[in-house]
Chain A
């Protein structure tokens, strides 16, 4: 066993209100530079929807993540993972032209406005206007897409119906999903998953990408990066972006300069809905690649199997032997992420079938149909408790495609537990449910009253330091060269002190 620590994350989707404050706070610090205008290291998507970049989940086109080679089934039976985007030889041809790349048109062309025209326009009959100017060419442009272009457009044929995750849904289910009166949607905030089995790192021909041993943050060394963009193709989440001005790839750095000084990353700190949790997970690095070779349906369980119990004395001993500090182990024991992912099994990885073992987990949204409008009157549907689950506006199949590689049982058990917590708390507050049905519900949801109270407390009442349990993190060597983000705003912002000028 090779125990490693990872700073992992949980996003509670039931709590996300889609305000994009996280995206804006990230952009303002890290990506308001020339060449990075189009990048959103943190973005919030409307689901069902096509996302950013458009249709990023379509791996038939982008070829991100890993595929399994070899025969046999189960753990490590002669199966090997290989990159879907390239092998070691065709990677050399792809240096010259990479066919699986998103282009600027798959994101959007960034623009600003010619504000000076508002002041300089001569007096006339019309209001002066500021026309849109491309931030790439500096020329006037017609705006065809922008950040969050399909925000809240879940009913549209143009965006939502092209969602890759709808594959496999029957026509009836689709109709039900897009029936305009009951159209439903939820928000999916996305940052880099800081995967335990990162395909971007494996794909980099120059070896510029690396995973930090102490905290698992995945970074790109800007001095080594040659801008070959193999990582952009290999990352199935399209969370690596190419800076067209510096010729380097860039990605979410989990605000490591903030983490290293005991501060909370921007997108976490600014989260209005308080949906985000940050904490340490311990995992067995030796078994990562093997764990990702199992069948799709077993992947979620397989990932859980390599996450270690931080209270297990044997794990603690091995972790210490591996140089993990007492403070880190302490943080792992208090980790809210461990509770959501392992203790309660409520948080699931996004698209685990890409087999990169993401370390960002999502509590799937209930989108509850606890009641409906009938003849203008709101009516509770209370019979049978879980009937509403089957009638859920978003088909289980859709959620399973996103969060459990198609395994609906896992989603259902999460939903049952989430719902049981609600009914349990309701029965305490309002006392309008009989004890027999509540206990049946708790049994079906595999929930004890103590656990329900715990889940309730961490979901609804957590303080900042309940949500973010930060370990003391070793400073990145290069940080001495980092200029303060406040001082060089709009110029560099990354782990080098040069501004984004190449000169040659």
Chain B
């Protein structure tokens, strides 16, 4: 619920407010359509703040836009490891540069009395927000590696889902906290553009590249008999063309999803009876899966213990998947002493499900970004993208009559003794959080 507010409602609010607000401010309040330059009042430290910040953030923003607008070409480019390495390190370097620039700007704004006289509260809000945003990006780049690669598969579809009016927050739901905060902060910044000096982003003077050096404005209609009429005609033509472009661009962006579907409906490949049946079957399966998931959820709410498997079915080499109380995948192994060994299978890097095959070193592998985890401790091996260990889970052993034989808390505290005989018949359970303490 909170997710759909933060990652669906807020983005749409931000985009609508930004578009309408910016157009209003640029057209009707054009006197304020700029950033208030303060170089005139203080220029010595400005060069160390404004230049690195603007250059750094321009390059970084452009890279973001390319990755969002054309995820597939971006991903193709990033699949070469050298390119990926170069892009990641450039990105980190530039974000450090722009962060330092921002800090210089902040110090300058706070310490110089002259600059303070032209500082508004919104200036400070924006400055802090930008510092926070760049710091989050940097933190992501340092801790969750290879963002340039995986973002094309996770955040780009999210942005596209927003732009094509088919919002889906689930893309970002399982992301680490810093990624989620970075996305949230980005929408906040978009929201504030029309109310702050950030409006100057749109003022980039690309016209200057093409225009003649001199501008002469005639107000005297006598110069040419119909000068005014020609001017007006050109003016309305220009407005018409601009309007047309805007409408076309808007239509293109906002109905891309619909257009695609209409296109498919008329020109897409026709489905055979068999294919349609297959699709229906897939839909049915999806519904069943949802129902099953709900059933599992209810079961977990209702019962204190959930059966994992009979102990005899567990092996040392192939983990058995089961769903834990948090509704995440988990793995069950059996140890050398014949007792079960349970650990979460949700990768601590980006939340993929870890594989269940144990390699020669007693480790399991996450297929997404190749992290190796020790099955006894959950600790990732050095060099893995994941830095946090997989959490170990507690277990409860019961015989067929439901009598508790032994149990182990997630921390590893073991109670009860079991004989080899009773182990053969025993079943492995996991316990609800509050029950773990009592057993």
The verdict on A344 contacting chain B, using a C-beta distance below 8 Å, is no
A212 and B219 form a contact (CB under 8 A): yes
A-B contact pairs, 17 of them (CB 8 A): A96-B54, A97-B39, A97-B47, A101-B43, A136-B114, A137-B113, A137-B117, A138-B117, A201-B213, A209-B215, A210-B217, A213-B220, A222-B31, A227-B37, A247-B36, A475-B219, A503-B32
A137 and B223 form a contact (CB under 8 A): no
B216 and A474 form a contact (CB under 8 A): no
Tell me whether chain A's interface is mostly helix, strand or loop, or mixed.
Answer: loop
The verdict on A306 contacting chain B, using a C-beta distance below 8 Å, is no
Report the bound CA distance from A99 to B117 in whole Å: 23
Contact with B along A432-465 (1 / 0, CB 8 A): 0000000000000000000000000000000000
Report the bound CA distance from A197 to B215 in whole Å: 10
CB proximity to A under 8 Å, residues B221-278: 222-224, 227
Contact with A along B49-83 (1 / 0, CB 8 A): 01100110000000000000000000000000000
CB proximity to B under 8 Å, residues A188-212: 197-198, 201-202, 204-207, 209-212
The verdict on A498 contacting chain B, using a C-beta distance below 8 Å, is yes
A103 and B219 form a contact (CB under 8 A): no
* Interface segment out of the listed B196-204, B299-307, B330-338, B420-428: B196-204
CB proximity to B under 8 Å, residues A365-417: none
How near does chain B come to A504, taking the closest CB pair, in angstroms?
5
Q: Which B residues are CB-close (under 8 A) to A204? A: 208, 215
Nearest opposing residue in chain B for A502, CB measure? B32
Q: Which B residues are CB-close (under 8 A) to A502? A: 31-32, 36
Using known A-B contacts A103-B39, A103-B41, A502-B36, determine if residue A206 contacts B205 with beta carbons closer than 8 Å. yes
List the 6 closest A-B pairs by CB distance, nearest first. A323-B223, A202-B213, A205-B205, A213-B218, A247-B36, A226-B34
Report the bound CA distance from A213 to B214 in whole Å: 11
Nearest opposing residue in chain B for A107, CB measure? B40
CB proximity to A under 8 Å, residues B9-31: 25, 29-31
Report the bound CA distance from A205 to B205 in whole Å: 6
The verdict on B46 contacting chain A, using a C-beta distance below 8 Å, is yes
The verdict on B170 contacting chain A, using a C-beta distance below 8 Å, is no
Report the bound CA distance from A325 to B223 in whole Å: 9
Q: Which A residues are CB-close (under 8 A) to B39? A: 97-98, 101, 103, 229
Report the bound CA distance from A213 to B217 in whole Å: 5
Nearest opposing residue in chain A for B196, CB measure? A504
Report the bound CA distance from A357 to B218 in whole Å: 20
The verdict on A153 contacting chain B, using a C-beta distance below 8 Å, is no
CB proximity to B under 8 Å, residues A230-247: 242, 244-247
Q: Which A residues are CB-close (under 8 A) to B208? A: 88, 91, 204-207
Q: Which of B31, B32, B47 has the most CB of A within 10 A?
A: B31
A504 and B197 form a contact (CB under 8 A): yes
Report the bound CA distance from A245 to B115 in whole Å: 11
**Contact partner of B200 among A210, A226, A503, CB < 8 A?**
A226
Report the bound CA distance from A244 to B112 in whole Å: 15
**Contact partner of B114 among A99, A137, A198, A223, CB < 8 A?**
A137
